[in-house]
A and B are shown apart, each in its own frame.
Chain A
Amino acid sequence: MILRLSLFVFLALAHANFAQTSEELLKGVILKINSVKDYKADISIKAEIPFVKVPIAKATLYFKQKDKFKVVSKGIAILPKQGISDLTSFLSNESKYTSLLGDSKTIGDIKTKLVTVIPNGENNEIILAKVYIDPTESLIYRTVLTTKESGTVTVDYTYGQNKKYGLPNKMTFSVDVKKFKMPKSVASDIRNSEKKTKDKKENKGVITITVIGYEVNKGISDDTFKKD
């Protein structure tokens, strides 16, 4: 009897989990997002972009609800234009999109559910977002954003001790570089001509942001986000 009861409860719970709707999955994520009023993250940025050579850069990310975001770097840091903060602020506003539940996909060791998010209006920069969510912990492990200007950006997330806030300790951005045209030199390079510039057809650029440390909900002044 007890065994049957346990089995029934287990199946009910299991069914309840895997029966979550796309909205419920996203809500779980948003709840976690909203638990973070602000954060400051020290990051290192490694960019591997075709025809771009850049050393590993150190920077500091600042975030404050609802959509204040700033990157401060001592040197020059190359970051993806899309995918760092715009998705979370987009997802926070549920009225602006429609979501659809998709298939399961295992990313690393994590079993995730695909939620496809389609913006309601036509004026959004994001055309389509595919979000792979771990339903048990309400964590995003991958997003594939299709944007008007930047093409497709795929972001993989890895989590550590700040999992409870939904804050990853590593983000790997895969950037579409199809639209790149390698520019000619600003001033004519007299020695040139052996290294001819080419249009690369199928190329991806990868930017890896590793978080060295977070300070979450410690309070950040609005002045921090003022433009220099």
Chain B
Amino acid sequence: MLWKNTRNEWIKITSKIRSYLGIGALTVLVVVVQVALKADGGSFISYVTASFEQTLSFNGKILNGNLVAFIVLQMLIVHVPLLIALVTGDLLSGEEAAGTIRMLATKPISRTQIVLSKWIAAALYTFVMTAWLAFLSLVVGKFIFGEGDLIVLNSSGLNIIASDDLPWRFALSMLIAFLALLTVSTLSLCFSAFAKNSVGPIVATMAVIILFTIIGTLDVTVFDAIKPYMFTTHMAAWRSVFEVPLPWDAVWESIVVLLVHIVVLLGITILRFNKKDITS
């Protein structure tokens, strides 16, 4: 029954206009960034290499598809969670508001299976968004800007990564980005279990992300103890894949923290939905 309802949930997601609004918005955002870089990518490059250009000269194709893909991923780290939450935050509370939760909860399918099937469908949608983002930034980006080594500015300095060393790095970074976005969709689903309307969970999800992000960037010792455990701290873990050498310990730590968040949030959602009296 779990997979039957997962199929149902997928049909519902793909039948709603807002699901395509999210994908459309993502497409427009990426295209805008790519057009801007095509028009004036040189200025951006200069900004990155400015500190080095007094003594060094950078030869080769710096503005290439790999760099553009990296920049696109950077810029959308805040926007994509919102587009995901727009769809996943509606999954439970939207049905409560529409009254269909009554019909659904009287079927021979457990409440746990209802939540799990919605979560799987949300994960699938998140994967589609991530894959689409990867396609637009990498495939389309390479088509427009061509191949080349990747130049990356990190907290540890400037890294140049050879182009043949990039495919597995991008694959791993997209996997971690998917995990980060899945955490967001699980969070919004969790809020959805507590709300009776669509807007609340979406706003709450974004509020949490923004608040945690601010806390994460504040240089205040009071917050130092909790920062390593906040999921927003690890949402940018995908960038670590482009450090040389790759900090495997930090990457694994981020993966574990995100997975723990997903499991705990999903557990809370299941618990809440199982206990809930459906009176609407």
Do A and B contact each other directly (Cβ–Cβ < 8 Å)? Answer: yes
Task: Please classify the interface of chain B as helix (H, G, I), strand (E, B), loop, or mixed, using the class held by over half of its residues.
Answer: mixed
* A177–B55 alpha-carbon span in the complex (Å): 8
Q: Which residues of B contact A189 (CB under 8 A)?
A: 154-155, 236, 239
Contact A180 B52, beta carbon cutoff 8 Å = yes
> Is the CB of A68 closer than 8 A to any CB of chain B?
no
State whether A185 and B55 are in contact (beta carbons under 8 Å apart), knowing that A73-B60, A190-B233 are contacts in the complex: no
Contact A191 B236, beta carbon cutoff 8 Å = yes
> Is the CB of A186 closer than 8 A to any CB of chain B?
yes
Closest to B75 in A: A187
Task: Please classify the interface of chain A as helix (H, G, I), strand (E, B), loop, or mixed, using the class held by over half of its residues.
Answer: loop
Q: Which residues of A contact B77 (CB under 8 A)?
A: 187
State whether A55 and B55 are in contact (beta carbons under 8 Å apart), knowing that A193-B219, A195-B155 are contacts in the complex: no
Contact of B159 among A50, A53, A150 (CB under 8 A): A53
Interface string of A46-69 (1 = CB under 8 A from B): 000111111101010000000000
Count B interface residues, CB 8 Å. Answer: 48
Q: Which residues of A contact B158 (CB under 8 A)?
A: 51-54
Binds B, one of A77-85, A97-105, A136-144, A159-167: A77-85
> Is the CB of A37 closer than 8 A to any CB of chain B?
no
* A150–B57 alpha-carbon span in the complex (Å): 11
> Is the CB of B106 closer than 8 A to any CB of chain A?
no
* A76–B159 alpha-carbon span in the complex (Å): 11
State whether A187 and B60 are in contact (beta carbons under 8 Å apart), knowing that A53-B160, A176-B55, A180-B51 are contacts in the complex: no
Contact B56 A186, beta carbon cutoff 8 Å = no
> Is the CB of A179 closer than 8 A to any CB of chain B?
yes
Q: Which residues of B contact A81 (CB under 8 A)?
A: 53-57
Interface string of B145-184 (1 = CB under 8 A from A): 0001101011111111111010000000000000000000
Contact of A191 among B148, B159, B233 (CB under 8 A): B233
Interface of chain B residues 26 through 75 with chain A (CB within 8 A): 47-48, 50-62, 74-75
Closest to A193 in B: B219
* A149–B56 alpha-carbon span in the complex (Å): 11
> Is the CB of B22 closer than 8 A to any CB of chain A?
no
Min CB gap A190→B, angstroms? 5
Contact A190 B53, beta carbon cutoff 8 Å = no
Contact A78 B149, beta carbon cutoff 8 Å = no
Contact A78 B235, beta carbon cutoff 8 Å = no
State whether A186 and B163 are in contact (beta carbons under 8 Å apart), knowing that A51-B156, A51-B157, A180-B52 are contacts in the complex: no
Interface of chain A residues 80 through 120 with chain B (CB within 8 A): 80-82
Contact A195 B149, beta carbon cutoff 8 Å = no
Contact B155 A55, beta carbon cutoff 8 Å = no
Contact A79 B57, beta carbon cutoff 8 Å = yes
Interface of chain A residues 143 through 161 with chain B (CB within 8 A): 149-151, 153
Q: Which residues of B contact A192 (CB under 8 A)?
A: 155
State whether A55 and B161 are in contact (beta carbons under 8 Å apart), knowing that A71-B59, A79-B59, A81-B57 are contacts in the complex: yes
Contact B57 A78, beta carbon cutoff 8 Å = yes
**New A-B pairs, 9, CB < 8 Å, besides A53-B157, A190-B233:** A50-B157, A55-B165, A76-B60, A180-B51, A183-B48, A184-B155, A187-B77, A190-B213, A190-B232
Contact B74 A182, beta carbon cutoff 8 Å = no
Min CB gap A131→B, angstroms? 20
> Is the CB of B1 closer than 8 A to any CB of chain A?
no
State whether A75 and B60 are in contact (beta carbons under 8 Å apart), knowing that A51-B156, A80-B55 are contacts in the complex: yes
**6 A-B interface contacts by CB (under 8 A):** A52-B160, A55-B161, A73-B59, A75-B162, A78-B59, A175-B55
Contact B74 A187, beta carbon cutoff 8 Å = yes
> Is the CB of B130 closer than 8 A to any CB of chain A?
no
Q: Which residues of B contact A191 (CB under 8 A)?
A: 155, 233-234, 236-237, 239-240, 250, 254
Contact B60 A74, beta carbon cutoff 8 Å = yes
State whether A185 and B155 are in contact (beta carbons under 8 Å apart), knowing that A59-B59, A75-B60 are contacts in the complex: yes
Q: Which residues of B contact A76 (CB under 8 A)?
A: 58-62, 148-149, 151, 160
Contact A179 B161, beta carbon cutoff 8 Å = no
> Is the CB of A197 closer than 8 A to any CB of chain B?
yes
